Structure 1
């Protein structure tokens, strides 16, 4: 009975140490280029060319509530730039934005003007439709 309890405890320890399968295959991409999700419900198509960072973002609804563009400059883990809504969406705003690059799959807004809604932009690692390997 002692051996059975030891094996049971060992099994629990092994299972609790195993990584969650949703995160087991996640890897940070080598560049910022990709399709990101925003915590505002939007999809953001991001491209970095040298130190310049560009994006087109839009809400998922039809017709889109918002659609915007961003152009910024990356300096280390900080991106600073300008954003503006475009006529595809119903909102009309513009301003400046600063983002912190947590890694190439996770951006966090640290400052904004003009009322931009999203504050986190990330590549969901399980999202093979938007980001095929």
Structure 2
């Protein structure tokens, strides 16, 4: 009887955790049918879990300054793709392709679905999660 109770309790706990986990990695806030290219200057990089966030200043089509934030995958996963803490830093020139937010906010995100499709820092392309990681030596 106690074993059955523990099994049911574990299952219920799993159901409670699953919803927020799926919501955290959802694409509902992004226009997955649209891709925008953002070109500008990196202002800050937060290299921390659960996701790396790169902040940049870029001008829109009318020349207005926008403060973008691009959410990438976890540091460990990005390291597997060859990234280091110094791959992107404040002052770097950045070209990124991303699926934009549906509400028009200057944000883009990455994760399992790879919302950031292209990342070029100072003219050098960096691999993004969702592509094929470089071969291990």
TM range (shorter): 0.3 to 0.5
**Superposition TM-score, scaled by structure 1 size:** 0.36
- Identify, as 1 or 2, the structure richer in helix: 2
**Superposition TM-score, scaled by structure 2 size:** 0.35
- Identify, as 1 or 2, the structure richer in strand: 1
- Greater C-alpha radius of gyration: 1
Higher relative contact order (CA 8 A, sep 6+): 2
